[in-house]
Structure 1
Amino acid sequence: MPVSTCLHVLWLLVSTVGIEDVCGMEDQVVNVSNGPVELVAGLADGPEKQVAGLVDDPAQQVAGLVDDPAEPEGSLVDGLVQQVAGLVDSPGNLVAGLVDNFMDQVAVVVSQVVEQHLTSCQLVLATTTDNTSEFSYILRRLAGGGEASTVVDVGLLFSQGQPAQHHLLQGLWGDVRFSCRALILYIDTTNNTLLFRFLEWSELWLWPETSVVVVGTRTGMESVLLHSSLRNTVHLLYLALEILPRQKLPVNTWLRKGPLQQEGSARVEIYRRCLYCNRGEMGVHSVQQWNLSSRVPLEHNLFPERLENFMGHTFKIVALPYFPYIAYEKNSEDPDGPVSPRDALNFRMMDVFAAQLNLTYEIREPSDGKWGVPLTNGSWTGIVGTLQHQQADLSLDLTQTASRTEVISFTRVYSHDPLVIVSLKPGRLPRHLALIRPFTGELWVLIAACTLVFGVVLWLLQRVWSSLSGERNPRLASTIFYSWGVLLEDPPTDPPANVSGRILVGLWFLSCMVIGTAYRSSLIAHLAVQNNFLPINSFEDLLSQVGWSWGSRKFTGSNFLFFNESSDLVVQEIYKNMQVIDRELLMERVLAGGFSCILHRNVFLATFEHNYRYSNSPFHMSSTEYPVFAGNAWGVRIVSDMRPIVNH
């Protein structure tokens, strides 16, 4: 029988049985477990009828179709029969091939996302031990693309000891060679607890700019995207894999040109978690979907999240009154209740942010009413503690210190507000003391001493000369009065007779001429412009005052740390003798005299100095300023979204 006749017989056979039973690849995969006879579903009721009863003995399948087995065309028939027999003999290879193709397509999609959107990022890939075989496809694709990555087997990680876990955590996110970070998770919806434990352990919430790509099925998608371990992640995608139902092919469509179409196909749908799109709260929405066989669409930006519209989200602010920066009124006696803001510098800035970024805010006081100092257990009190424990988003004014930056974040310093000494303006010196003001007290003492010494030296020279010449010895009182006479420009008429005495008197004349000229010029200046007492411009000046006292409001927070932790002996002495006085009484004590107060410069200018015109202010502010650490900034919880916005 010619080969064409054999092919025609086979074509009639297939047409009679049905193309979906021979070429339906999915039915073959589904029925593999039922045995090799049922793999070719519908070809025959039993193995003796596999070729529709054309032969009774399977051994004569080829002989019944070919009259002369030696004919060359018989080899082609042998090949066709061997292909059908291969489907029956190797069902496991068929299943493995389809699974490999599906997982490889998933890996291709992940690698395309990395290639198009996460270039130059530090990659961290994580999965559970149960998913290692499936995850290996993604790993091979990324390794083939040359992407450097860190692979974490979560099950193996938590079986290690604490030192090994701590060592991995130290290097998990800190590679400075990369400009961004990305985390790829393979999710098994039946065992997500271990992965969520890994996310909390890895402190992913401290790295909000890390891009996270989750691969899994659509089941449980929202529970993953809204999980608390991902609460601060800005860029979060979920690649949901979905198998579409098969479509039956009509009879004989296998004869059409082109490759065979699969009865079932896989689709990928991308979901994005947004932080504020659901009326200011977290939400999930679908971005796009496409078949696994196609590439990721290039025209879509999968990470467009920019914090420019908070959709009415309400930010929690913790604050204490600190005019002119913060001022508010309490709405009730409830210490934990919200307060109403009044006109102040920081609230003006916050209102601008609220209008531009579509957000709202509420203000509350810290439960203990303190700014914040550290405790022995590592926690903080007051505003700092509230931000440390993520109970509020930000504080509108907080002094930045090295210890505080370990538990919370800070914006840029927007105000430099050092401590100053405020005293009463020094009064004018008495006019009757104008005669002695040209010279200081030390200079007057020096002039008197020099005059006395000159008189004694002149007396000694005259006595020596008298003993040699035999003349009368001069008296000591006479030489001293002589020196004073020269100083007052009224010297005696009889100068010394000896040469050495005359030279000494000449030198003294010259010195007294310089002293007299300086005194007269200074006296004229002091009589023309009346002088004041010296002002207090430093802590040293304050300590040098006799019968003087000083004080301030009770120091808390950074002010307390400044005085309490200072190693400067002058600062320690100032703090030791400082009086604690209410703010309302501070200026009254200063105006009464003999008292200085220590407070922040801007607070003094806004609270007290603005009540006077510049020329009429009775207060003197010290020229020496004492900065309390870096300055004033907004304190924010460690990963607040407001920090980059305020800095910008």
Structure 2
Amino acid sequence: MWPDTQVVFVGYKIKATSFLRHRALRNTIQPLLFSLEEAEPKSKGITSSSVDLSPERIILAGYSRCLYCQNGYSKVVSLFRRPLDAIDPKRLNISVDPVENFQGTKFRVTSLSYFPYIDNRLNSEEPGRTVTILDSLDKRILDTLTGHANFTFEATAPPDMIPGYLSSNGSWNGMMLDIAELGADFSTCITINPDRLKILDKVRTCETDWICIVSPQPRVLPRYLVITRTFAADVWIYLLVTIMIWGVCLWALQRTESRLSGEGSESLSESILYGWAAIVDHPPEPPSNLVGQMMVGWLQSY
């Protein structure tokens, strides 16, 4: 079960140890057991019909588990023991002191080198080999935590020397296999993804400095720095209308001149396309007739 899962038992005091120290609750921070007990047990020969079940003679007792109170091991502790009719639910204390001292517990750590966050040196080439964590960011964090929380650790490297990935058949490898099979209590730094979060919980041991890059919005460059600049929408519309009118006028004037001179003239589409070609850097050859030359000259000067 996850550490935040709330587990409550109701039963006999004699079952407190087997319940609260069950392997299924190894990750549960504070399981609880409530038990009803008789204030002054009578002789063993009494029958159930003679037991006094009045509220003043019934004791409500609460028990929980302290994870590292017994030289680094868990043990069952009593939270309270009061008569049933004297209990105030608002003042009832059912919390165990937070885990701040691990009483010298030796934890198992799975680790891979990922400099500068973690740097390891293999102590041997055998399976399940231990490693020595060299000076690195995670090593300094671990040294600080061991001093404050009073615990030690032994670091090992996974046999395949990989962080660990979920295969198609649902099995893990690498460091994640050590975590999944309880071969390690925790790991050094490892990248979090949705699959890994299903079997582990992340721990932040230091604050993260969030960096936000702020820059002004891009502005229009001045004319002396602009190599090319597109026209605005109204300029394009104005240019389109102008070229269309110019092309129609060129076609009409050349058609009139051709009727007078008997020479052929260009079509309407050719006149309009000629107008677009005349405003680029490499315009086509100007028309041979005087009317066309005057129209092209006016357009280019425009």
TM-score by length of 2: 0.58
Which position in structure 1 is the counterpart of 2:31?
A: 236
Does residue 392 (structure 1) correspond to residue 187 (structure 2)? The answer is no
CA apart distance, 1:278: 1.8
CA apart distance, 1:468: 4.5
Whole-Å Cα distance in 2 between the matches of residues 330 and 415 of structure 1?
32
Whole-Å Cα distance in 1 between the matches of residues 181 and 2 of structure 2?
13
- Backbone CA RMSD of aligned residues: 4.1
Distance 1:266 1:348, change over 3 A: same
**Native 8 Å contact 1:238 1:270 kept in 2:** yes
Whole-Å Cα distance in 2 between the matches of residues 414 and 359 of structure 1?
25
Deviations 1:583-638 (A, max 9, x none): xxxxxxxxxxxxxxxxxxxxxxxxxxxxxxxxxxxxxxxxxxxxxxxxxxxxxxxx
Does residue 325 (structure 1) correspond to residue 117 (structure 2)? The answer is yes
Give the secondary-structure state (helix, strand or coil) at the position aligned to 1:276: strand
Deviations 1:355-401 (A, max 9, x none): 34333333221232222222232112212232223332333322222
- Which of 13, 17, 21 matches 1:226? 21
Deviations 1:519-555 (A, max 9, x none): xxxxxxxxxxxxxxxxxxxxxxxxxxxxxxxxxxxxx
Deviations 1:215-258 (A, max 9, x none): 2043x5433332213322222334453563559xxxxxxxxxxx
Which position in structure 1 is the counterpart of 2:47?
A: none
Deviations 1:319-365 (A, max 9, x none): 22111222111222234122121222333333333334333333221
Give the secondary-structure state (helix, strand or coil) at the position aligned to 1:206: coil
**Native 8 Å contact 1:212 1:235 kept in 2:** no
Q: Which amino acid is the alignment partner of residue 11 of structure 2?
A: V
**Native 8 Å contact 1:272 1:286 kept in 2:** yes
Give the secondary-structure state (helix, strand or coil) at the position aligned to 1:398: coil
Q: Which amino acid is the alignment partner of residue 345 of structure 1?
A: L
Write the mapping of 1:420-499 to structure 2, written as runs, cut at 5 A: 468=261, 498-499=290-291
Does residue 343 (structure 1) correspond to residue 138 (structure 2)? The answer is no
Which position in structure 1 is the counterpart of 2:243?
A: none
- Which of 146, 149, 155 matches 1:357? 149
Distance 1:217 1:277, change over 3 A: closer
Distance 1:468 1:297, change over 3 A: closer
Distance 1:301 1:376, change over 3 A: same
Distance 1:394 1:207, change over 3 A: closer
Deviations 1:168-207 (A, max 9, x none): xxxxxxxxxxxxxxxxxxxxxxxxxxxxxxxxxxxxx236
Distance 1:275 1:217, change over 3 A: closer
Distance 1:373 1:299, change over 3 A: closer
Which position in structure 2 is the counterpart of 1:313?
A: 105
Distance 1:374 1:313, change over 3 A: same
Q: Which amino acid is the alignment partner of residue 223 of structure 1?
A: S
Unaligned runs of 5+ residues in structure 1 are 1-204, 248-261, 417-437, 440-460, 471-486, 489-494, 512-648
Distance 1:355 1:402, change over 3 A: same
Q: Which amino acid is the alignment partner of residue 308 of structure 1?
A: E
Does residue 215 (structure 1) correspond to residue 2 (structure 2)? The answer is no
**Native 8 Å contact 2:16 2:76 kept in 1:** no
Write the mapping of 1:46-445 to structure 2, written as runs, cut at 5 A: 205-206=1-2, 208-218=4-14, 220-239=15-34, 241=37, 244=40, 246=42, 270-291=62-83, 294-295=86-87, 301-411=93-203
Whole-Å Cα distance in 2 between the matches of residues 407 and 245 of structure 1?
47
Distance 1:414 1:389, change over 3 A: farther
User: Aligned residues, how many?
Assistant: 222
**Native 8 Å contact 2:128 2:157 kept in 1:** yes
**Native 8 Å contact 1:314 1:359 kept in 2:** yes
CA apart distance, 1:268: 5.4
Give the secondary-structure state (helix, strand or coil) at the position aligned to 1:354: helix
Write the mapping of 1:582-621 to structure 2, written as runs, cut at 5 A: none
**Native 8 Å contact 2:79 2:93 kept in 1:** no
Give the secondary-structure state (helix, strand or coil) at the position aligned to 1:409: coil
Whole-Å Cα distance in 2 between the matches of residues 221 and 330 of structure 1?
43
CA apart distance, 1:407: 3.6
Whole-Å Cα distance in 1 between the matches of residues 198 and 83 of structure 2?
48
Whole-Å Cα distance in 1 between the matches of residues 58 and 293 of structure 2?
123
Distance 1:369 1:497, change over 3 A: same
Identity %: 29
Higher relative contact order (CA 8 A, sep 6+): 1
Q: Which amino acid is the alignment partner of residue 244 of structure 1?
A: E
Whole-Å Cα distance in 2 between the matches of residues 496 and 293 of structure 1?
119
Distance 1:297 1:402, change over 3 A: closer
CA apart distance, 1:282: 0.8
Unaligned runs of 5+ residues in structure 2 are 44-53, 211-226, 229-253, 264-280
Give the secondary-structure state (helix, strand or coil) at the position aligned to 1:367: coil
Which position in structure 2 is the counterpart of 1:80?
A: none
Which position in structure 2 is the counterpart of 1:548?
A: none
Q: Which amino acid is the alignment partner of residue 317 of structure 1?
A: V
Higher CA-based Rg: 1
Whole-Å Cα distance in 1 between the matches of residues 16 and 208 of structure 2?
43
Greater fraction of residues in helix: 1
Distance 1:377 1:501, change over 3 A: same
Write the mapping of 1:544-583 to structure 2, written as runs, cut at 5 A: none
Q: Which amino acid is the alignment partner of residue 23 of structure 2?
A: S
Distance 1:410 1:300, change over 3 A: same
Give the secondary-structure state (helix, strand or coil) at the position aligned to 1:316: strand
Whole-Å Cα distance in 2 between the matches of residues 404 and 245 of structure 1?
52
**Native 8 Å contact 2:112 2:188 kept in 1:** no
**Native 8 Å contact 1:269 1:288 kept in 2:** yes
Whole-Å Cα distance in 2 between the matches of residues 497 and 233 of structure 1?
99
**Native 8 Å contact 1:242 1:266 kept in 2:** yes
**Native 8 Å contact 1:315 1:361 kept in 2:** yes
Q: Which amino acid is the alignment partner of residue 311 of structure 1?
A: Q
Distance 1:504 1:290, change over 3 A: closer
Distance 1:291 1:505, change over 3 A: closer
Whole-Å Cα distance in 2 between the matches of residues 350 and 469 of structure 1?
101
